[in-house]
Amino acid sequence: MILSGTVIVDSTTVIDDGGVVVTGSRIEAVGERSAMRAEFPSHDERQFGIVMPGLVGGHVHSVQSLGRGIADDTELLDWLFDHVLPMEASLSAEEMRVAAQLGYLECLESGTTTVIDHLSVSHADEAFEAAGELGIRGLLGKVLMDQRSPEGLREDTEAGLAESRRLIERYHRSFDDRIRYAVTPRFAVSCSEACLRGARELADQYENVRIHTHASENQSEIETVQEDTGMRNVEWLHEVGLTGEDVILAHCVWTSEDERQLLAETNTNVTHCPSSNMKLASGIAPIEEYLERDITVALGNDGPPCNNTLDGLTEMKQASLLQKVDALDPTATPAPTIFEMATINGARAAGFEKLGALRPGWNADIIGLETELTRATPLHDPLSHVVFAAHGDDVVFTMVDGEVVVDDGELTTADAATIREQARSIELDLEGAHTTAQNAQS
C-alpha cells in the first residue's frame, strides 16, 4: 500500500507531495509520491491531506473512560480518593473491559496508535484483551496499591506483585509484540516501601518490562511522601529503585533542582500531561528545563475524568501554549519540539524501537488526516497545523503494525457503536457501590 499526501516524516522533514510504502507490518520506503508510484506500481494507493506517524499517548488511563465528567472542578487528592478510585473499585470485569475498549476506541479514532496505560488494581486481563482485540499498540500494567487505598483497591503487597508476575508471563510481548508490560505502582502515597522495591525487583527479572508510575503531580502528594519518608517524591523513588531509563514518571510538576538532576543523571523518562495539570490546578511542569537537560519528555492525556478527552492532537496545542505563557516566551516549546514529544519521545519512553517516525524498516504505525477543512485553510505549514490547529476528528485513517484499524473514520477491528452503547448502559454508583452493567447486545 502507498499512503500519499503531505508526508510529515518527523519533526524536521516534510515531503509536500510524498508517499509512504507499507509492506506487511513495516515501512518499506518513503519519498516523493511520483518516485514511490514508479518504484512500486503494483501497490494500491490511498491519498490523504497529511500522512504522519501515529501519536504515542505517554500516560493514559483507559479504564477511567466511564468516569468522564464525574468529578470536575475538584482538587486532585479529593478527585482521586473520593471519586475516581471508588469508581475503579466498583467496576466488574465486564465493565472494565468495556471501559478499556472505549478508551482505546477514542485513542485510535483520534490518531493515537500507542498508549502507555495505567490500568487499575483488578481485572487487568480485560484491558489486555481489549487492546489486543482493537489493535492498538501499548505498554500496559496492572496497578499496585497496598496502603491508603479505598475498599476494593487495597491489596496485600505480595499478592499484588504475584498477580503482576502472572500478567507479565501471559501478556508481555503478546499480540505479535504489540503489547508489552509495565510494572505499575500507582504512586508513592498508596504504595509501601516493600511494594515499590518489589516493583523494581520484578521488572529486573524480565527483558523489556518497564516501570510506570505517577510522581510529584501535586504539592499535597509531596508533603505526604515527605511525612512518610523524610524525602521529596522523586528522591524517594530513586532511593527505592524507581528511576532509570526503563522508568516512566507521569507529571513531575513539582521537582527540586536536585530531583531534576537525578532525572537527568538516571535517564528517567517524564510524561507531561498539560490538560490534566491545568484542570486539576496541579501546576505547570518545567518542561523546557527538562528538555534542556536532555530528559526524554513524552506527552500524555492522563484520564478522561481529568482531561476530559484522549485526543492527542489537542494535547499538543495545550502543551505548547502552557509553556509559552508560563515562560512569557512565545519561542518556548515550538511545534517541532511538541511533535517529538507526541511521537518519537513517547516511543522511546515506552521502549519501542523503530517507532515514532516514518522511516524505512520502522513499524508501520501511521495516521492520515483530512485537510479539506476550514481550519486547515490555508495550510502554510503542515507541522504548525498538526500542533496548533488539528483535532482528533480530523483523523480518517489509522494503521498499527501495518494493519488498518480505522478506515474512513470507522473502526475496523470491532463494532464501535456496540462499544459506545455498552458504555452508556453501565450505571455508575458514584458513592462507590458496585455498578450494574446492562449488556447492550442482550
pLDDT digit string (tens) for 247-257?
Answer: 999 999 999 99
The answer to whether residues 365 and 294 belong to one domain is no
The answer to whether residues 46 and 61 belong to one domain is no
Answer with the one of 344, 378, 403 that is the final residue of a domain: 344
The answer to whether residues 22 and 67 belong to one domain is no
The answer to whether residues 278 and 404 belong to one domain is no
Give the residue carrying C-alpha cell 480485560: 126
The residue type found at 49 is G
pLDDT digit string (tens) for 178-191?
Answer: 999 999 999 999 99
The answer to whether residues 152 and 126 belong to one domain is yes
Answer with the one of 313, 344, 375 that is the final residue of a domain: 344
* Per-residue pLDDT, 64: 94
pLDDT of 437 over the 80 cut: no
Tally Cβ neighbours within 10 Å of residue 276.
26
Does residue 437 form part of some domain? Answer: no
pLDDT of 428 over the 80 cut: no
Between vectors from CA 168 to CA 345 and to CA 189, what angle results, nearest 5°?
70
pTM of the model: 0.95
The answer to whether residues 29 and 88 belong to one domain is no
Does residue 434 form part of some domain? Answer: no
Does residue 102 form part of some domain? Answer: yes
Does residue 440 form part of some domain? Answer: no
The answer to whether residues 323 and 298 belong to one domain is yes
Does residue 88 form part of some domain? Answer: yes
pLDDT digit string (tens) for 292-304?
Answer: 999 999 999 999 9
Cα(363)–Cα(223) distance, integer angstroms: 43
**CB neighbours of 69 closer than 8 A, spacing ≥ 6?**
305, 308
Residue 57: strand pairing partners? 115
Lowest mean pLDDT among 81-90, 97-106, 387-396: 81-90
The answer to whether residues 221 and 192 belong to one domain is yes
**Mean predicted confidence (pLDDT) in 64-69:** 93
Instruction: Report the CATH number that the domain containing residue 159 is assigned in CATH.
Output: 3.20.20.140
Cα(44)–Cα(281) distance, integer angstroms: 49
Q: Crossing angle of helices 93-109/124-134, nearest 10°? A: 40
The answer to whether residues 137 and 152 belong to one domain is yes
Q: What percentage of the chain carries pLDDT values higher than 90?
A: 90
Grid cell for residue 25: 507490518
The answer to whether residues 136 and 221 belong to one domain is yes
**Mean predicted confidence (pLDDT) in 310-328:** 97
3-state SS class at 324:
helix
pLDDT of 213 over the 70 cut: yes
Does residue 431 form part of some domain? Answer: no
Closest CA to 214 of 190, 241, 243, 186: 186
- The pLDDT confidence band at residue 235, using thresholds 50, 70 and 90, is very high
Domain range enclosing 132? 55-344
Closest CA to 157 of 144, 169, 168: 144
The answer to whether residues 178 and 265 belong to one domain is yes
Averaged pLDDT score across all residues of the chain:
95
The answer to whether residues 296 and 378 belong to one domain is no
